Amino acid sequence: MNIVDRATFEAELDQLRAREKAHTREGDAIAAARRRLPVVEVDASLTLVGPDGPTTLLAAFEGRSQLIAFYFMWHHASSAADVCEGCTFYTGQVRELSILHSRDATFAVLCQGPYAESRRYRDFMGWDMPWYSAQESAAELLAGRQVGMFYLVCYVRKGERVFETYSTSGRGVEAMDNSYGLLDLSRFGRQEPWENSPDGSPQEWGNESGNPHPYRVGGRPIAQWTRLSAGHMDPLTQD
């Protein structure tokens, strides 16, 4: 660490803040361009399965004009430990939906597995966001994308017609995250090997051989341990 006096520290910080402001303004410009993208129509009647059985993509809007959908990967898990750790990491950080609702937007998880066992996982995790199975319609909903990967997809409706307006790829799902955003402000960052960090910084979280998985500890997604200690049941299938 380079230890300096307060004045030197503030001067360096001001230089960085100028870069951060430019980054923020560029992000605003990208968001403005995103709002002007063309749209593609999606069959509003495509089948989802929810708590009351089969329903439609249109119904998942819950009467609002916009739908922000997270496509949750699924490995036909028989226990919670087998569920996608990345999907768990991101989904678990979407908690308070009232601000979205005030802007006439609904958030929902569209799981790419069967409803019954994936809903049991939602309950295991203590989540309360709207949850559907998109298994039957995933290939059509994700046209041009690889089924089985996770995505954020945004929709708007005009009456009973539905249009896709945007979707993420790669790290775009970090829009759901706050943990990494906070860690990015800290001295050690995410502590993952791909980061450009000063020599000597801890970087033990990653996928390289011998290093712990960034989203798993002890063979299961990190967030699950508190659920187990609270007595939640691990099996997701029923006899």
Which residues have C-beta within 8 Å of that of residue 176, sequence separation ≥ 6?
A: 70, 90, 91, 93, 94, 152
Would you kindly state where each structural domain of the chain is located, as residue ranges? 40-175+213-229
Select from 3.40.50.150, 3.40.50.970, 3.40.30.10, 3.40.50.720 the CATH code of 40-175+213-229.
3.40.30.10
Supply the pTM of this predicted model. 0.94
85 vs 216: CA distance, rounded Å: 7
148 vs 142: CA distance, rounded Å: 10
pLDDT by position in tens, the chain (length 239): 899 999 999 999 999 999 999 999 999 999 999 999 999 999 999 999 999 999 999 999 999 999 999 999 998 878 999 999 999 999 999 999 999 999 999 999 999 999 999 999 999 999 999 999 999 999 999 998 999 999 999 999 999 999 999 999 889 999 999 999 999 999 999 999 999 999 999 999 986 556 678 999 988 999 999 999 888 889 898 75
Q: Which tokens sit at 143?
A: 């046209």
Q: 207-230 burial by CB neighbour count: b if 16+ within 10 A, else e? A: eeeeeeebbbeeebbbbbeebeee
